[in-house]
């Protein structure tokens, strides 16, 4: 019998179903891979197990007994530890202080018992085969050690199940080997590990069984031995999902943007590409592939990079978004709430914030002009807003995004970059945004779309670049792109020299 069973889990957010009848079974002392594309529902499922979210329907059984994970604390009491991708350590505290954070050992006077905590910390670390001074500050440790401390903390809490979310993204090969050895040791001690990763090769080498999620459903569960990289990739992306491409092959104009040998330490290296008038170029990859950093640099938000940028054949130096705008580059950022909208300004003001000179007369902003222009975009982009004088955060995600797009349409740049343009947007609005992107290209603009959704890229791009760990690992024409192909370049299982020019 399985140690942990999650049976028929259903979960919706805002009436959008995220998990539909998902089942996961975990044996005692196994490493179980949980894989799926971005948005397949992995995080939601693990958040349910971790007590962060409550399922709408379904049953969780631990050791045959039905349990309810009503809070993260409860989940921890049941022996489940969640090691997040962004490690949850306080870097200004010492190792043992982090280990015992929230559960400090105190002596009878109520003071913390440092010796005892250090002793226990050393015990666990030694068991894991590492030697760190428990009084060392966490900020002085490398990422792999930080990960070890998280794992030690899980052991300290006598966890029976450890969830690891993409633990290897920040690790070197050598460190990955050490982590895997450790995971195998834990397995011997009858601890079960749920291992979330996109890196299929690693999964193949360390995991025993797997569960594949796609679109919120379990599509496969079973032993890894009988699987090949190709068969797993195929299960992840499915085949029935492919929708028709929305663009025809079109005649492209002259080169608008050319990037030569762009590099930034630890973000991306040797990036070369060019884009023509009327072309839509897609950049895709997995989380942490460096594409956002690349285009934030190109837009001048990040300054620490080297290389040459040519706009319409002219060499430009971009070290501030203002200069990018002047050179003719526009940028619709990802994470709308943090990077794009200005919450305290109203809808119209968000539309006009970057182009106020269009609405000024004698140095004063003319509200009427702004209003008129907004009405124009409201009709063109089908922005649904009753009163445009409300602050922008009152709008739904899709409408907010359309306002941000209107802001850049008003600036009318030759090149426009969309980073994850359909993040958190419902299907109807998604389609409208695709159409708008295509319309821009037809008007002769050069459009760059960054997205982690392969389908989206295939639908609207003339050509596709795949990035892996800060480098372009693959390039193909939009019509040749398949999800399997994109996935194999994005996971690093394939790599090819990119044709330059």
Partner 1 sequence: MAEPQMKDDQSVETKSNRFKNGLNWLWSDYSVVIAFIIIFIAASLMSPRFLDINNLMNILMQVSIIGIIALGMTVVMLSGGIDLSVGSVLALVGVLTVTALNATGSVVLAVLSALIAGPLIGLLNGLMIAKGRIAAFIATLGMMAGARSIALYIADGGSISGEVQSFSLISNSELGIVDYPIIIFLIMTAFVYVLMHKTRFGRYVYAIGSNEKSARLSAINVEKMKLSIYSLAGLMVSVAAIIETSRLNSISSSSSGQLYELDAIAAVIIGGTRMTGGRGKIIGTFFGVLILGILNNMMNLMNVSTHLQGFVKGLIIIIAVVFQKRE
Q: Which residues bind partner 1 (CB under 8 A)?
A: 15-16, 299, 301, 320-322, 324-325, 331, 333, 338-345, 349, 353-354, 356-357, 360, 363-365, 384-387, 390, 394, 396, 398-399, 407, 426-429
State how far the Cα of 251 lies from the Cα of 317, in Å rounded to an integer. Answer: 30
* Nearer of residues 15 and 226 to partner 1, judged by Cβ: 15
Q: Cβ of residue 321: shortest distance to partner 1, in angstroms?
A: 4
d(CA 236, CA 483): 9
Instruction: Name the residue nearer to partner 1 (CB basis): 3 or 295.
Output: 295
Cβ-based nearer residue to partner 1, 349 or 452: 349
State in angstroms the smallest separation of the CB of 366 from partner 1: 9
Residues with Cβ within 8 Å of residue 196, at least 6 apart in sequence: 33, 34, 35, 42, 46, 163, 164, 165, 166
CA distance 75 to 72: 5
Q: Which residues of 207-216 are buried (b: 16+ CB within 10 A; e: fewer)?
A: bbbbbbbbbb
Pick the closer one to partner 1 by CB: 449 or 472. Answer: 449
CB 247 within 8 A of CB 462: yes
Tell me whether residue 234 or residue 358 sits nearer to partner 1 (CB atom). 358
- Give every CB contact of residue 51 below 8 A, 6+ residues apart in sequence: 69, 70, 71, 72, 73, 74, 75, 76
Neighbours of 187 (CB within 10 A): 17
State the nearest-atom distance from the C-beta of 52 to partner 1, in Å.
25
Please, which residue, 240 or 387, has the CB nearer to partner 1? 387
The CA-based diameter of the chain, rounded to the nearest angstrom, is: 80
**Shortest spacing between CB 423 and partner 1, in angstroms:** 15
Kindly state the smallest distance separating residue 320's Cβ from partner 1, in Å. 7
**DSSP string for 408-421:** HHHHT-SEEEEEST
**Cβ proximity of 348 and 388 under 8 Å:** yes
CB of residue 447 to partner 1, shortest distance in Å: 18
Structure tokens, 60: 């969780």
Q: Of 173, 178, 183, 190, which Cα lies nearest the Cα of 79?
A: 190
CB of 434 to partner 1, least distance (A): 15
Using DSSP's 3-state secondary structure scheme, residue 330 falls into: strand
Least Å distance, CB 138 to partner 1, is 24
Residue 389 CB-half CA count within 13 A: 3
Q: Which two tokens stand for residue 191?
A: 């601890």
Of residues 224 and 324, the one with the C-beta less far from partner 1: 324
Q: Determine the Cα–Cα distance for residues 185 and 151; give it in Å rounded to an integer.
A: 12
**Residue nearer to partner 1 on the CB measure, 102 or 363:** 363
CB 48 within 8 A of CB 54: yes
CA distance linking residue 176 with residue 144, whole number of Å: 8
Q: Which two tokens stand for residue 480?
A: 């040749």
Nearer to partner 1, 167 or 388 (CB): 388
**Could you count the other beta carbons within 10 Å of the beta carbon of residue 230?**
12
DSSP-derived 3-state class of residue 278 = coil
Residue 199's Cα: distance from chain center in Å?
14
Identify which of residues 166 and 370 has a Cβ nearer to partner 1 in the complex. Answer: 370
CB 190 within 8 A of CB 29: yes
Q: Which is closer to partner 1, CB of 197 or CB of 350?
A: 350
Minimum Å gap between C-beta 207 and partner 1 is 37
Query: Taking the complex as a whole, how short is the minimal distance between the CB of residue 390 and partner 1, in angstroms?
Result: 8
268-276 β-sheet, strand order: 268-276, 255-264, 306-311, 314-316
d(CA 417, CA 463): 15
CB of 385 to partner 1, least distance (A): 7
Cα-Cα-Cα-Cα torsion 258, 418, 458, 487, nearest 10 degrees, comes to: 90
User: Smallest distance from the beta carbon of 398 to partner 1, in angstroms?
Assistant: 7
Of 352 and 463, nearer to partner 1 (C-beta) is 352
Shortest distance in whole angstroms from residue 355 CB to partner 1: 9
Question: Which letter does DSSP use for residue 371 in this model?
Answer: H
CB closer to partner 1 out of 220 and 302: 302
């Amino acid at each position: 019998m399985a140690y942990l069973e999650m049976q028929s889990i259903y979960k919706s957010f805002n009436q959008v179903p995220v998990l539909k009848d998902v089942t996961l079974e975990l044996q005692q002392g196994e490493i179980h891979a949980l894989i799926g594309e971005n948005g397949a529902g992995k995080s939601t499922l693990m958040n349910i197990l971790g007590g962060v979210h409550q399922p709408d329907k379904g049953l969780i059984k631990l050791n045959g007994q039905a349990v309810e994970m009503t809070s993260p604390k409860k989940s921890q009491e049941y022996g489940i530890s969640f090691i997040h991708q962004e490690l949850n350590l306080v870097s200004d505290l010492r190792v043992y202080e982090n280990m015992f954070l929230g559960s400090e050992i105190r002596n009878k006077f109520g003071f913390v018992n440092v010796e005892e905590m250090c002793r226990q910390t050393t015990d666990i670390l030694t068991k894991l085969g590492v030697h760190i001074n428990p009084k060392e500050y966490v900020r002085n440790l490398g990422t792999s050690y930080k990960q070890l401390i998280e794992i030690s903390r899980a052991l300290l809490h006598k966890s029976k199940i450890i969830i690891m979310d993409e633990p290897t993204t920040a690790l070197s090969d050598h460190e990955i080997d050490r982590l895997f050895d450790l995971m195998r040791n834990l397995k011997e001690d009858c601890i079960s590990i749920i291992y979330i990763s996109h890196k299929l090769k690693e999964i193949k080498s360390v995991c025993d069984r797997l569960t594949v999620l796609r679109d919120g459903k379990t599509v496969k569960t079973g032993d890894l031995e009988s699987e090949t990289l190709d068969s797993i990739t195929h299960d992840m992306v499915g085949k029935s999902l492919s929708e028709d491409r929305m663009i025809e092959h079109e005649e492209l104009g002259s080169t608008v943007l050319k990037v030569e040998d762009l590099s930034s330490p630890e973000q991306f290296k040797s990036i070369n590409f060019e884009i023509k008038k009327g072309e839509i170029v897609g950049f895709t990859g997995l989380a942490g592939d460096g594409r956002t950093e690349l285009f934030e640099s190109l837009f001048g938000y990040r300054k620490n990079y080297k290389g040459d940028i040519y706009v319409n054949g002219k060499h430009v130096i971009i070290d501030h978004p203002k200069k990018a705008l002047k050179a003719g580059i526009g940028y619709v950022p990802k994470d709308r709430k943090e990077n794009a909208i200005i919450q305290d300004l109203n809808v119209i003001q968000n539309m006009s914030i970057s182009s106020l000179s269009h609405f000024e007369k004698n140095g004063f902003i003319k509200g009427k002009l702004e209003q008129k222009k907004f009405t124009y975009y409201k009709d063109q982009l089908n922005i649904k807003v009753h009163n445009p004088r409300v602050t922008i955060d009152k709008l739904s995600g899709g409408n907010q995004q359309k306002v941000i797009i209107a802001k850049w349409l008003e600036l009318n740049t030759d090149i426009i970059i969309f980073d994850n343009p359909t993040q958190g947007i419902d299907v109807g609005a998604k389609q409208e945004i695709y159409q708008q992107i295509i319309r821009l290209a037809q008007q002769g603009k050069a459009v760059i779309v960054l997205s982690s959704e392969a389908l989206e890229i295939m639908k609207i791009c003339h050509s596709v670049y795949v990035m892996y760990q800060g480098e372009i690992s693959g390039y193909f024409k939009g019509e040749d792109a398949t999800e399997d192909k994109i996935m194999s370049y994005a996971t690093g299982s394939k790599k090819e020299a990119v044709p330059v020019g």
